[in-house]
Amino acid sequence: MLAYTEYECDNRVRRYAETLVKRGDQVEVIALSSPLCTAPKETICGVTVYRIQYRNKDEKHRWNYAWKLLRFLLSSSRTIARLHALNHYDVIHIHNMPDFLVFAAWYPKLRGAKLILDIHDLTPEMFASKFAVKSTNLYVKLLKAVERVSTRFVDHVIVSNHLWRDTLLSRSVAIDKCSVLINHVDSAIFYRRPRRRDDGKYIILFHGGFQWHQGLDIAIEAFAEVRAKLPAAELHLYGGGSQKITAELQSLAQHLSLSESVKFCGFVPLDKIGEVVADADLGVVPKRANSFGNEAYSTKIMEFMSQGVPVIVSRTKIDTYYFNERTVRFFRSGDKDALAEAILDVAGSEELRDSLIAQGLE
């Protein structure tokens, strides 16, 4: 497996790798190092992980981001050619982004290995959202061309939700060459846990990436209204992103006099996040519908459900495709007042909470 990600923190990549090891396969992963995991080679749950590059998430321009991806392409190409000479891999499973990472596997392909491209996110749409450009932008058009060439280079394409499958079929991939595998809850991590906390606080939780499309600024602004009516409430944000976005969110919380009640909790290992979720009172998924988040599936919704935590979700195209009003409390995307109202509705109604919990678990 080849992935421009920190293996320890990427649930999708780890689920594949560890499941295959349990089946009896030999699995090796080429990935990034992280501040907590810097060893160039390590075995984790039977998976051999090679870390070949460190990524500091400080990209201020799309070309800076692209340069780091190109470096990884070259480094991983050399590494995978060397390892293939030793192991003769049967399958190379490449995880995007970027799509062009598939070309790092040119040597194994030449020697008979089959290639899979696993599309976690649609790269053109992600870049358009990340760098605030239109779909007609030349750079986005180039990424769509790269997507077409990359999908033709591999033997099969996996995509992470049904809406994106439809998009890919319309522009890049043949129907018999494309499958959907959504990020489902890992029952080894998200088995039902008892609640441990009894401190009188009301914990509202988000865990994941701190990107603009996730709408965390909307959540913080809504929390200012919630806090005025629910003094025991705290908003806990687990995860992170670029230093710039994290600093902006912290500054917003400070500006709204919420520094004591909005907690930036940092990253937690995947095998510990279930405990964090189980101790929350309410989960929030405040994605922007006018962004990449409109079609990006949120695994965290079902992670909340698995622990009996009611969840409030912005009304996006992807989440209304998979969920309904019985299982989540929707609110109008981008509207802080609507989010605050939804939080107070759930917090104030035991009947609504119990119904959302029961339907979510079902």
For 176-197, how does the pLDDT look when each residue is reduced to its tens digit (9 = 90+)?
Answer: 999 999 998 888 889 999 888 8
For 309-355, how does the pLDDT look when each residue is reduced to its tens digit (9 = 90+)?
Answer: 999 999 999 999 999 999 999 999 999 999 999 999 999 999 999 99
Mean pLDDT, rounded, for 291-315: 95
Say what the pLDDT of residue 10 is.
87
Alpha helices, H only, the chain: 11-23, 62-87, 106-110, 123-130, 138-153, 162-171, 216-229, 243-255, 270-278, 299-306, 317-322, 336-348, 350-361
Report how far apart the first and last C-alpha atoms of the chain are (Å, whole number).
34
The confidence band for 62, taking pLDDT boundaries of 50, 70 and 90, is: low
Q: Which two tokens stand for residue 130?
A: 């990340």
Say what the pLDDT of residue 59 is.
55
Query: What contacts 24+ positions apart, CB below 8 Å, involve 322-326?
Result: 322/182, 322/297, 326/355, 326/359
Say what the pLDDT of residue 2 is.
97
Written as one letter, the residue type at 19 is: T
Measured in degrees and rounded to the nearest 5, phi and psi for residue 260 equal -85, -20
In sequence order, which residues have a C-beta less than 8 Å from that of residue 362 and are 6 or more positions away?
Answer: none
pTM (two decimals)? 0.85
Say what the pLDDT of residue 243 is.
84
Q: What domains appear along the chain, each with residue ranges and CATH number? A: 2-180 (3.40.50.2000), 202-361 (3.40.50.2000)
d(CA 331, CA 225): 15
56, 242 Cβ separation under 8 angstroms: no
Mean pLDDT, rounded, for 108-135: 90
The confidence band for 137, taking pLDDT boundaries of 50, 70 and 90, is: confident
For 193-236, how does the pLDDT look when each residue is reduced to its tens digit (9 = 90+)?
Answer: 988 888 999 999 999 999 889 999 999 999 999 999 999 999 99
As a whole number, the mean pLDDT across the chain is 93
pLDDT surpassing 90 at residue 133: no
pLDDT surpassing 90 at residue 361: yes
16, 5 Cβ separation under 8 angstroms: no
Q: Which two tokens stand for residue 167?
A: 């998009």
Say what the pLDDT of residue 201 is.
95
Mean pLDDT, rounded, for 233-252: 92
Mean pLDDT, rounded, for 69-84: 95
d(CA 278, CA 276): 6
d(CA 362, CA 359): 5
276, 207 Cβ separation under 8 angstroms: yes
